[in-house]
Amino acid sequence: MTWSLPHCRNCLERPILLMDISLFPLFFLFLFLLQHPSSVAHLHKIKLLSSEPELLAQPASSDDTPPTLYFEVTKPIKLPKTKPCSDHILHHEFGYTYAKPPVLANYTPPSHCPSDKFSKIVLEWTSTCKGRQFDRIFGVWLGGVELLRSCTAEPRATGIVWTVQKDITRYYSLLMKDQILAVYLGNIVDQTYTGVYNVDIFIHFYPAENDDLAYGYGGAPADMILPISRNLPLNDGLWFEIQNSNDTEVKQFKIPRNSYRAVLEVYVSFHENDESWYSNPPNDYLAANNITDTPGNGPFREVVVTLDGKVVGAVWPFTVIYTGGVNPLLWRPITGIGSFDLPSYDIEITPLLGRILDGDTHSFGFSVTNALNVWYIDANLHLWLDPKNSITEGEVLNYIEKPLVEYLVSDFVGLNGSFWTGARRSIWSTGWVRSSLGNITTSFIQDFSYNNSMVMGNDGSLETVNQIIHFNDSVHAKLPSSSVHFIRETYRRFLLNLCTDDLDEGYDAYLSIANFTLGFDESKFKSSEFGLHSSTLKNVQNGQGNMVVKKNLVVSGLGSTQQDYNFESNDFCYFRKVGSSNYTILYDKVGNPCKKRSHTPLGFGFS
Ligand SMILES: *[C@@H]1O[C@H](CO)[C@@H](O)[C@H](O)[C@H]1NC(C)=O
Ligand SMILES: *[C@@H]1O[C@H](CO)[C@@H](O)[C@H](O)[C@H]1NC(C)=O
Ligand SMILES: *[C@@H]1O[C@H](CO)[C@@H](O)[C@H](O)[C@H]1NC(C)=O
Ligand SMILES: *[C@@H]1O[C@H](CO)[C@@H](O)[C@H](O)[C@H]1NC(C)=O
Ligand SMILES: *[C@@H]1O[C@H](CO)[C@@H](O)[C@H](O)[C@H]1NC(C)=O
Ligand SMILES: *[C@@H]1O[C@H](CO)[C@@H](O)[C@H](O)[C@H]1NC(C)=O
Ligand SMILES: *[C@@H]1O[C@H](CO)[C@@H](O)[C@H](O)[C@H]1NC(C)=O
């Protein structure tokens, strides 16, 4: 471990220290010699941005202004009608916490509830902050199992408040035992960056209305969850850190010999040189232009998961933009999709259980194709155990990992150019497991495609990125007890269009104009002996912003954001259309009318 360099490795803090003023004269001389002064701003948009125009203009703000409420648009959690038992599990003020141990607390299951059968369990994170601060990545772990990966909101002089609610019912078995809670939020407080995050965490337990927990394939939570993360003590989060494309981080584990189903839930976030991996130009382009201090390796990234060294699944992550990303004014008060609750991704391990039911030690490994420093990755292994037998048996029947196909076409003259990057990958596995539930054969398929076009103009100061990721997977299980097969299919489409134009204004300042479209679409289909269930989510944000950046501070500017969220399922619908500009909500329409749904075929929704 090297803690000698106290530089931040969190959300918006990068190793390219625009903060370090002593570097500037040298830096400009270098660019002057190359005669590309206009590229300064853009190719160095990898920067630290914290903004507080009001603070700079009028540092003394009156104390009676109410804090601004920031929020991520998402559907409300469907709750039972029962009265929850609520536990306040942590209060902490995160001041100078960077490179310090995570904040720990003893967790005990609720003891004041009428029963220990809960149909919904909700984690609630609430934070206030005042002053000036960067966006900070943080994680919440219980017994080493990650419950929430998130990014803080950037405060303002008059203060902000935000709340994240997450359905954590799937961690039921973990929550019913005594555990150590760990929260890592690496914050730095000094004379300029004054924001301290004042945090409260609650867990709300909603007693079940009736006995509705079914077994593994019916949707019941796992019987056991193994942490695939780093062990405490640590002066950091429990995540593994992937620093380059050759880096593989490995965790050993052993599973109970009576497991009959296994799902690996992977948490991923990207920082520093790879925070905006989707807009990184290829190394060739940087080398041809003698640029050595801008992140490259092109815009394609893939998280690869191995079991005992063999690829068992991949994650092509959603392009979460943190609250200081692109233009921090875009995320006030509507924050970027996924930024307050980063998505996790499930990889079905059941077909491969036959290989790890022997009672021996096995290992999961994580790596990231084309990675630059740094990716934070860990996982939770959800296991369902045979209630009747102490041993199950299984065998892998078929396993096909089609190698990653990646192409890159570049066409550039100087700092102007176009780049097309594409990729595809499929992974299939089939295997059987025999338990007291019978002999169940399960297949898991992942299909990915990736398409990115990047255009650099105005000698590198104008960049346009258009990217689409398709991330489909399916689980099919042949259950002996029923004539109905279990099928779960998920289709995801991640869309990103980003356009940034930076104009040098001299005196260490530049004007940045940016607009974006960010889309997270997901269709799910599930068929089991408990019936059919399908849902469609269309979630899209558009934004336009401008800002003047001097040193690493946004000194003036304006951000406007519009979001259209639309969720429909058999039994629950929700939409929200909301727009904001300059911290003010301009319109906000919320509704839940389930339209008459026509019978949509599999894979619906993305035309
Ligand atoms: C990864 O390993 C290859 C082969 O050893 C080497 O050529 C390459 O420079 C390494 N890349 C990084 C980022 O360390
Ligand atoms: C379980 O089913 C598979 C596929 O039908 C079969 O190959 C295997 O032999 C069965 N295992 C047992 C123990 O019956
Ligand atoms: C990638 O997108 C471009 C336009 O955005 C399209 O012309 C091209 O066919 C796409 N390629 C693939 C492989 O989907
Ligand atoms: C790059 O494009 C700009 C216009 O966008 C043009 O003014 C400039 O001359 C071009 N540079 C090169 C090296 O072709
Ligand atoms: C986004 O910005 C680019 C460059 O400034 C501009 O050409 C384009 O029209 C803008 N698009 C929208 C929708 O504002
Ligand atoms: C944003 O709103 C503030 C008042 O809250 C106002 O002083 C400022 O001029 C506005 N900025 C723009 C660019 O409209
Ligand atoms: C994913 O599913 C969608 C919807 O069926 C389809 O259009 C797309 O081609 C699929 N992509 C891949 C990579 O399988």
Read off the pLDDT of residues 399-409 as tens digits, 9 standing for 90 and up: 999 999 999 99
For ligand 2, is residue 441 a contact (CB within 6 Å)? yes
Query: What's residue 212's pLDDT?
Result: 56
Average pLDDT, the chain: 87
For ligand 5, is residue 511 a contact (CB within 6 Å)? no
For ligand 6, is residue 548 a contact (CB within 6 Å)? no
For ligand 6, is residue 224 a contact (CB within 6 Å)? no
pLDDT(450) > 90: yes
Any idea which ligand is nearest the CA of 368?
Answer: 1
pLDDT(355) > 90: yes
For ligand 3, is residue 468 a contact (CB within 6 Å)? no
Cβ-contact 16, 27 below 8 angstroms: no
- What is the C-alpha separation between 227 and 264, in angstroms, rounded? 10
Query: What's residue 219's pLDDT?
Result: 76
User: Chain centroid to CA 526: how far?
Assistant: 24
- Mean pLDDT value across residues 157-166: 96
For ligand 2, is residue 432 a contact (CB within 6 Å)? yes
Determine the atom of ligand 3 nearest the C-alpha atom of 422: 13
Ligand 7 centroid – CA 280 distance (Å): 26
Query: What's residue 508's pLDDT?
Result: 84
Strands 68-69 and 160-167: parallel
For 184-333, where are the alpha helices, taking DSSP H only?
A: 283-288
pLDDT(21) > 50: no
- Mean pLDDT value across residues 4-22: 28
Per-residue pLDDT of 180-222, as tens digits, reads: 999 999 999 999 889 999 999 999 999 988 765 544 566 789 9
Cβ-contact 323, 339 below 8 angstroms: yes
Query: What's residue 115's pLDDT?
Result: 80
Ligand 1 centroid – CA 368 distance (Å): 13
**Domain range spanning residue 115?**
16-591
pLDDT(601) > 50: no
Query: What's residue 516's pLDDT?
Result: 98
Residue 224 belongs to a domain: yes
Any idea which ligand is nearest the CA of 457?
Answer: 4
Residue 6 belongs to a domain: no
Query: What's residue 63's pLDDT?
Result: 67
DSSP structural state of residue 71: B
Ligand 4 centroid – CA 418 distance (Å): 13
- Mean pLDDT value across residues 93-104: 97
State the pLDDT confidence band at 49, using cuts at 50, 70 and 90. low
Ligand 7 centroid – CA 271 distance (Å): 29
Query: What's residue 8's pLDDT?
Result: 30
Residue 1 belongs to a domain: no
Residue 372 belongs to a domain: yes
Strands 416-435 and 393-413: antiparallel
Q: In 458-552, at which residue ranges do the beta strands (DSSP E only) sit? A: 462-478, 486-506, 509-528, 531-550
Residue 521 belongs to a domain: yes
Minimal-distance CA residue to ligand 4 atom 13 = 414
Residue 7 belongs to a domain: no
State the pLDDT confidence band at 276, using cuts at 50, 70 and 90. very high
Determine the atom of ligand 6 nearest the C-alpha atom of 556: 13
- Mean pLDDT value across residues 215-236: 88
pLDDT(583) > 70: yes
Residues 6 or more apart whose Cβ sits within 8 Å of residue 118:
169, 172, 205, 206, 207, 208
Ligand 1 centroid – CA 246 distance (Å): 6
For ligand 7, is residue 450 a contact (CB within 6 Å)? no
State the pLDDT confidence band at 50, using cuts at 50, 70 and 90. low
Query: What's residue 480's pLDDT?
Result: 77
Measured on CA atoms in the order 264, 240, 270, 374, is the torsion positive or negative? negative
Minimal-distance CA residue to ligand 2 atom 8 = 432
- Mean pLDDT value across residues 165-186: 97
Ligand 6 centroid – CA 584 distance (Å): 10
Q: Comparing 33-47, 194-208, 555-569, which segment has the lowest mean pLDDT?
A: 33-47
pLDDT(40) > 50: no
Any idea which ligand is nearest the CA of 501?
Answer: 5
Ligand 2 centroid – CA 471 distance (Å): 31
For ligand 3, is residue 422 a contact (CB within 6 Å)? yes
Residue 321 belongs to a domain: yes
Residue 416 in tokens: 């102007």
Query: What's residue 597's pLDDT?
Result: 54
Of the two residues 585 and 599, the one the predictor is more confident about is: 585
Query: What's residue 218's pLDDT?
Result: 64
Any idea which ligand is nearest the CA of 503?
Answer: 5
Minimal-distance CA residue to ligand 2 atom 10 = 439
Minimal-distance CA residue to ligand 5 atom 11 = 515
Residue 596 belongs to a domain: no
- Mean pLDDT value across residues 370-389: 97
Could you give the count of Cα atoms lying within 13 Å of 112 in the half-sphere of its Cβ?
6
What residues pair up with 57 in beta bridges, in sequence order?
Answer: none
Query: What's residue 62's pLDDT?
Result: 57
DSSP-derived 3-state class of residue 70: coil
pLDDT(599) > 50: no
> Which residue has tokens 């893939």?
302
Query: What's residue 528's pLDDT?
Result: 84
pLDDT(304) > 90: yes
For ligand 5, is residue 499 a contact (CB within 6 Å)? yes
- The total domain count for the chain is 1
Query: What's residue 553's pLDDT?
Result: 81
Query: What's residue 341's pLDDT?
Result: 98
- Mean pLDDT value across residues 137-154: 97
